[in-house]
Amino acid sequence: MTSTVESTAPAATMPRIGDPAPSFTAVTTQGEINFPADYAGKWVIFFSHPADFTPVCTSEFITFASMQEEFAAYNTELVGLSVDGLYSHIAWLRTIKDKIAFRGMRDVEVTFPLIEDVSMDIARRYGMIMPGEDSTKAVRAVFVIDPEGVVRAVIYYPLSLGRNFDELLRVIKALQTADHFEVATPADWRPGEPVIVPTAGSCGTAKERMENQDHGVECEDWFFCTKKIPAEEVESAIRRDQRGWEPAG
């Protein structure tokens, strides 16, 4: 069983932020998937790992699986990939459940799909193979894809560095907050903390902001203004967005 890629993008070009996620059909540990079509209306974290039966990857899969409900609360699905075969995937995930404990997490069952990509077609399409790091293994790539199938964030880690999963969840929360409220989020932002108001687009607006700071907007200077959005308002807004999603166009 092999995976097939269906995309008009050049084989050597990795998707960038704002690009449509390249489509493919793949065999996974949860059956065949058509990506990203099967996930329309959902956010997706599509990620790669170097190899099955390796310790860093094992720690990552235990962590991802243990946080799956937290991601699901933000309408986010997980999809993994490595260049190993399906039966290797199945054996490894069974070993994780039956034998491996990590930071108090044990008996963890991985129920999100793990793609087999022995041909490396999909990994190459997404720029997950970096010969300077390893020519036969995927690096630890992360693509955050929105409900319209558009790439919204790209994060890469080398083989030796396990990912920060709290940060991946924070990225999902921040992107959804920015979309709904039309704001930006500052460094280390968490739900409930002040967000960045779009920069004034004219001298008149900049002057008005500095002279009339109301509606909960606080300005350090004309270009640096914030406002508070309570965490519960962020949560309820995101859930409304999830229920009311419709495809663009």
Please report, in tens digits, the pLDDT of each residue of the chain (249 residues total). 555 555 443 344 789 999 999 999 999 999 999 999 999 999 999 999 999 999 999 999 999 999 999 999 999 999 999 999 999 999 999 999 999 999 999 999 999 999 999 999 999 999 999 999 998 899 999 999 999 999 999 999 999 999 999 999 999 999 999 999 999 999 999 999 999 998 765 555 656 666 666 667 888 887 889 999 998 988 888 777 776 666 655
- 209 within 8 A of 221, measured Cβ to Cβ: no
**Residue 218 pLDDT:** 87
Give the SS3 label for residue 149: coil
What the chain holds in terms of domains, given with CATH numbers, is 4-162 (3.40.30.10), 174-243 (3.30.1020.10)
Instruction: Determine the number of helices (DSSP H) and then strands (DSSP E) in the chain.
Output: 7, 11
Choose the catalytic residue: 57, 203, 219, 225: 57
Binding residues: 140
Which residues pair with residue 143 across a beta bridge?
46, 154
DSSP H or E stretch at residue 4: strand 4-5
Rounded to whole angstroms, the Cα distance separating 33 from 143 reads: 17
Residue 102 in tokens:
């990590």
- pTM of structure: 0.88
Among candidate residues 164, 114, 112, 172, the one with its CA nearest the CA of residue 144:
172
- For 102, residues 6+ apart whose C-beta sits below 8 A from its C-beta are 58, 59, 62, 63
- Catalytic-residue membership of 203: no
- pLDDT of 12 reads 47
- The C-alpha atoms of residue 69 and residue 13 are separated, in whole angstroms, by 33
Phi-psi bin for 188: left (phi > 0), alpha (psi -120 to 50), beta?
A: left
Note if the bond before 36 is cis, omega within 30 degrees.
Answer: yes
Q: What are the binding residues for substrate? A: 140
Judge whether 48 and 141 are in contact, CB under 8 Å.
yes
Residue type at 105 in one-letter notation? M
140: which strand partners?
Answer: 157
Q: What is the pLDDT of residue 7?
A: 45
